[in-house]
Amino acid sequence: MLLNYLKIALRTMLRYKSFSVINILGLTIGLTAFLGISLYVADELSFDSFHENKDRIYRSLTSAEWDGRTVKWGGSPNLLAPTAMKEIPEVEKATRYFHHNFGSMAFVSTETENFTEQNLYFADPEFLDIFTLPIIKGAARAKLIDRPGTVIISERAAEKYFDTSDPIGKVLTVDNNMKLEVTGVYKTLPANSFFQADMIASFSSNWFGQDRNQSWGNASFDSFFLLHEGVSQDAAYEKMTAMLLKNVPTDRQWFKISLQPLSDIRLHSGDLDPTADRRVYGDYKQVKILIALATIILLIASVNYMNLSTAQSQRRNKEVGIVKTLGGTFSQLTRRFYLEASVFVGASLLISLAAFGFLLPMFNTLSGKAITMEFISSAWFWLGFISVWIILTVLAGLYPALYLSSFSPKLVLQKTSASGSQAFMRKGLVVFQFSVSIILIICSVVFYQQMNFIRNKKLGYQPEQVIAVMTTPVKDRDQAVALKTSYEALSDVVSVSRTQSYPGMSTSSRNILRDGESEESGGGSLLLTMRATHEILSVLNIKLLAGKTLPETKDPNDTTVQVVVNKATVDYLGLSPEEAIGKRVNIQGFNEMTDIVGVTEDFHFTTLRQQISPFCFHNSTQTESYSYLLVKVNTANLSGTIKQLENIYTKNVAASFEYTFLDQHLNSLYRAEQNLGRVVMVFAGLAIFVACLGLYALAAFTAEQRTKEIGIRKVLGASVSHVVGMLSRDFMILVIIAFVIGIPVGYYMMDKWLESFAYKTDITVVVFLSAGLISMLIAGVTVSFESFRAARTNPVESLRSE
C-alpha cells in the first residue's frame, strides 16, 4: 500500500509539473534559508561549550555608579583573582587574562622576520587548569607559563612564525622590548571560543604582573574562577563581596563585583558599557530576530504548500470522488496526501542542502561566519534533518490532507464550489504571508535608514583622510618625535598628533568630581580621557568654544596636568565654557593638579549607541603612553601618500607599517548591524518571493474556480483589462488587510531595535508608505500575471464542458 501511495505521489508530481516545480521551489527556498539561519544560531549558542569545566567557570563583572548612571564591564582589578584564590574556599582556581596593551596590536619579531599579532594575551598558569586547551608540544602544563619571559603559541601561530621548524625554545620579541621564550604549542582555538588567543604569555611577563604594579584601582583585567563541585554562584558571590570589603581600602571601594557564567559571555553581555568594555560579544537580540525570521520563512513555505495543494483541488476532486466511491476511506486518503507532502518536503530538503553548500561562501560573507560543510557528518544534524522533515510534513500536509480527503463523492463529482470557510482559510493564509512580508519590508527600510543616518550624522569632528599609524614598536621618545617631524614635512600632510588612541577606539576612563563631592559618598561622573599632543584639535578639526588647545611644550618640572574638556564636562560641573577656563578640577587617577585650558564642542568619541559623555584630552606624563600618530592629509592621491608614510616609517622603525583610516574604522563599529541588515534584507526578499508563490497559487485557484464565469463575461463583451481588474480586486483587498496588520507589528519591532542607539533615525510615515507600495506592486504583478493568462483564454475552451 505504501509503495502504491508513493507511485501515485510521483505520478501526481509529473502530471502537474508547473505546480510541482513551484511547490518544491517554495519549500527549497524556505528550507535553505532555515538551514543557514539555524547553523548561524547554533554556532552562536555553542560558544565555549567545548571546555570540560564549562559549568563551573565564571567571569567577574565590575559595576560602578557615576552621576546616577550604572556602568558595567567585563574587566576587574588585577588583585581580584589571586586574592580570591587565597581567601575564598569555594574557589578552586582563579586566573587573570589580559589583552596586550589593552587590546592593541603587538609587533612580534623572530630572528629574521617582523610580524604583527592581534591576539597576544597574558595569563596566569592557572588558566591552563581552568580551560580546556590541548597542548601539542611542550613541557608539563604547570611549567609552561609559570615564569616571566615564557609564552605558548597556537598551531596557527607556530606555522606563521616558524613555518615547519620546531618552535620550542625559540625566542619571540614583542614591541622591540620584550623577549618571550616559546615553551609550548596548543591546538588552535575554535572559532566559537570567547578566547581567540594565538599567543598566551605568562602574566608575570607583563608590567601589570609585577607585584608593585598590582592594585584594586585598574579594572581592565578579565578574571575567571573555577568553583568547586556543588558550589553555587550565589555562595561564591557572597564570599567575594565580603572579601572586597575586607581587602579594598575604604577610599577605593568605588566598584562592585558580580559573577557571570562562562556560557553567558557570548550572548548575554549586552548590558556591558562598550566605552568601558573592550571585548567583542555576540548579540542575543540578533539571535532572537534570526530565529523568528527562520521560523517565519519556514511557515510561509508551509503555507505556500497548503495554498498550492488546495489550488489543485478542482483538478483532483474527481480523483478523490472516484477513490471514495470505490471504497477509499478518509484515513487512507489522509495518509496518501501526507505521503505526497513528505515526498515534496524530502525532495526540497535534499535540494536545499545542495543549494546551501553551493551558496555557503556567500552566506559566510553575508553573516561574518566561517561555517563549513562538516556539519553533515554529525549525528545532531541528521537528527534535526529528520525532525524538520516530519514536522514540516505534518505542518504543510495538514490542511491539504484534511481538506481534500473530506470531499463528498457526490459533491465533487457534481463540481460544487468550495465552502465559504475553506475560502476564508486560504485567504487568511495569504494575509498571514503578506503581513509577515510587509513587516520584513518595514524592518529592511528602517535598517537602511539607520545605517544611512549613521553615515551622514555630524560627529563633531572630521574623520575623513585621517590616518592612525601605530607607533608601539618605536625604541624611544626621540624616535617617535623624529617620525612625527618627518611626516609633517610631507606636502600632503596637514597636521600630525601623537595620541593614546582615537575616536571609536577604547580609551581610559576616570572619575571627575564636582566641588564638595567625594568618591566615598558615591559622587562624581565617568570621564573618558585620552592623552594627546597639542595638534589633536586641528587633526580632528574639533571646534573650540573657549580657551585654547593643550600647550605645545611642557616644562619637565611642571606637575600640573592640562586638559581640554568637551561641553558635556563643563555642563556636569555646572559652568559655562568661559567660566571653566583656568578652573582647577578634581579628576581621580591624575596624581597631579589638573587645570582646564580649553573647552570644545561636544563630539562623538564613541559610537552612536551611547550618549555623549564627559571627555577630555590631557598631557599627563605619569599615566598613559602614546601609541599612535594621527596624520591628517589633504590629497587626491591617497595611495601615493600612504606609500610615502610607509617608506618613512620603515626607514626609522624596525617593524611593519600598520595603519587605519578613521572613517573606515568608524564604519566597522557597526558591522553587526550592517550584517543583520543585509541578512534581514536578503531573507525578506526570499520571504516576499515565497509569499508571491502563495499569492500566485490563490490567484490560480480563483481563476480556475471562475473559469466559466470568465468565459461567459468574455462572450458578453468583457475586455481583458476588465477581467484582470475583476480578478485582482479581491487580492488587493487582502494585501491592504495585511498592510493594516503589519504596520503596528513592524513599528513595534523596529522601535525596540532602535532603543539600543542613543542617536537614531525617526520611523516616519514614509517607511510605511514604502512598505505598502512595494507590497502592492509585488502583489499586483503576481496576481495580474495569472489573471491576464486566465483573461486571455478562449471562452470556447472555458465553456466546452457545458
728 CB-side CA count, 13 A: 21
Burial of 223 (0-12, 13-18, 19+ CB in 10 A): buried
- Residue 632: count other Cβ atoms within 10 Å of its Cβ: 22
Q: How confident is the model at residue 771 (pLDDT cuts 50, 70, 90)?
A: confident
Give yes or no: residues 729 and 637 share one domain: no
Q: Which helix (H) or strand (E) holds 153?
A: strand 150-154
Residues whose CB falls within 8 Å of the CB of residue 636, separated by 6 or more in sequence, listed in order: none
C-alpha triplet 53, 118, 54: angle, nearest 5°: 10
- The percent of residues above 90 in pLDDT, for the chain, comes to 33
390 CB-side CA count, 13 A: 6
Give yes or no: residues 647 and 693 share one domain: no
Residue 354, domain extent? 2-30+284-454+670-799
Whether the pLDDT of residue 489 is over 90: the answer is: yes
Give yes or no: residues 446 and 485 share one domain: no
Whether residue 279 is contained in a domain is answered as: no
At which residue does the C-alpha cell 609564552 appear?
151
At 614, give phi and psi (nearest 5°).
-55, 140
Whether residue 148 is contained in a domain is answered as: yes
Give yes or no: residues 621 and 643 share one domain: yes
At which residue does the C-alpha cell 526540497 appear?
348
Q: Which of 681, 731, 226 is nearest to 431 (CA)?
A: 731
Give yes or no: residues 493 and 615 share one domain: yes
| Average pLDDT of the chain, as a whole number | 83
Whether residue 499 is contained in a domain is answered as: yes
Distance CA 704, CA 720 (A): 16
201 CB-side CA count, 13 A: 29
Distance CA 401, CA 305 (A): 11
Distance CA 692, CA 689 (A): 5
Give yes or no: residues 547 and 653 share one domain: yes
Please give the full DSSP string across 479-517, using - where no structure is assigned.
HHHHHHHHHHTSTTEEEEEEES--TTS--EEEEEE-TT-
Residues whose CB falls within 8 Å of the CB of residue 715, separated by 6 or more in sequence, listed in order: 795, 799
At 325, give phi and psi (nearest 5°).
-65, -35
Contact 676, 700 (CB under 8 A): no
Q: Which three cell numbers stand for residue 615?
A: 571627555
Distance CA 573, CA 567 (A): 10
Whether residue 730 is contained in a domain is answered as: yes
Q: Which three cell numbers stand for residue 561?
A: 596636568
- For the entire predicted model, the pTM comes to 0.77
**Domain finish residue from 668, 694, 721:** 668
Q: Which three cell numbers stand for residue 800?
A: 466546452
Give yes or no: residues 539 and 498 share one domain: yes
Q: What's the pLDDT at 487?
A: 94
For strand 594-600 and strand 584-588, is the pairing parallel, antiparallel, or unpaired? antiparallel
Q: How confident is the model at residue 749 (pLDDT cuts 50, 70, 90)?
A: confident
Contact 109, 655 (CB under 8 A): yes
Contact 427, 698 (CB under 8 A): yes
- The backbone region for 132, taken as left when phi is positive above 0, alpha when psi lies in -120 to 50, beta otherwise, is beta
Measured between alpha carbons, how far is residue 552 from residues 42, 76, 251, 498, 620 in Å?
55, 36, 35, 12, 13
Distance CA 636, CA 567 (A): 34
Give yes or no: residues 216 and 67 share one domain: yes
The tens digit of pLDDT for each residue in 264-280 reads: 999 988 888 776 676 77
Give yes or no: residues 172 and 228 share one domain: yes
The tens digit of pLDDT for each residue in 49-78 reads: 999 999 999 999 998 877 667 888 899 999
Distance CA 50, CA 192 (A): 9
Whether residue 401 is contained in a domain is answered as: yes
Give yes or no: residues 68 and 149 share one domain: yes
Distance CA 78, CA 213 (A): 9
Give yes or no: residues 473 and 609 share one domain: yes
Distance CA 394, CA 338 (A): 7
Q: How confident is the model at residue 802 (pLDDT cuts 50, 70, 90)?
A: very low
Burial of 177 (0-12, 13-18, 19+ CB in 10 A): exposed
- Alpha helices (H) in 520-670, listed in sequence order: 536-540, 567-573, 577-580, 638-652, 662-668
Distance CA 501, CA 479 (A): 19
Strand-by-strand arrangement of the 466-470 sheet: 493-499, 628-633, 466-470, 659-661
Distance CA 16, CA 22 (A): 10
User: Sign of dihedral through CA atoms 257, 259, 260, 262?
Assistant: positive
Distance CA 794, CA 790 (A): 9
Length of the chain: 802
Q: Which of 479-483, 716-720, 751-755 has the highest mean pLDDT?
A: 479-483
Strand ranges for 254-314 from DSSP E: 256-261
**Domain finish residue from 668, 699, 726:** 668
Average of per-residue pLDDT across 700-729? 69
| Three-state SS at 101 | helix
Provide the number of structural domains found in the chain: 3
The tens digit of pLDDT for each residue in 132-186 reads: 999 999 877 778 999 999 999 999 999 999 988 999 999 999 988 899 999 999 9
Q: What's the pLDDT at 133?
A: 92
Give yes or no: residues 418 and 546 share one domain: no
Question: 671-705 vs 313-325: helix axis angle to the nearest 10?
Answer: 60
Q: Which three cell numbers stand for residue 268?
A: 548575554
Q: What's the pLDDT at 330?
A: 63
Distance CA 93, CA 583 (A): 48
Q: Which of 471, 43, 459 is nearest to 286 (CA)?
A: 43
The tens digit of pLDDT for each residue in 335-363 reads: 777 777 788 888 889 999 999 999 888 88
Residues whose CB falls within 8 Å of the CB of residue 623, separated by 6 or more in sequence, listed in order: 508, 531, 589, 590
Q: Which of 213, 117, 221 is nearest to 174 (CA)?
A: 117
- Residue 196: count other Cβ atoms within 10 Å of its Cβ: 14
Residue 94's DSSP bridge partners are 225
Q: How confident is the model at residue 120 (pLDDT cuts 50, 70, 90)?
A: very high
Whether residue 769 is contained in a domain is answered as: yes
Whether residue 459 is contained in a domain is answered as: no
Whether residue 503 is contained in a domain is answered as: yes
Please give the full DSSP string across 206-250, using - where no structure is assigned.
SGGGSGGG--SS---BEEEEEEPTT--HHHHHHHHHHHHHHHS-G
The tens digit of pLDDT for each residue in 449-469 reads: 888 888 788 888 899 999 999
For strand 561-566 and strand 615-618, is the pairing parallel, antiparallel, or unpaired? antiparallel
Q: What's the pLDDT at 526?
A: 83
Contact 266, 282 (CB under 8 A): yes
Q: Which of 380, 379, 361 is nearest to 370 (CA)?
A: 361
595 CB-side CA count, 13 A: 12
Among 318-322, 535-539, 641-645, the range scoring the smallest mean pLDDT is 318-322
Q: What's the pLDDT at 689?
A: 79
The tens digit of pLDDT for each residue in 38-51 reads: 888 888 899 999 99
**Domain finish residue from 634, 668, 702:** 668
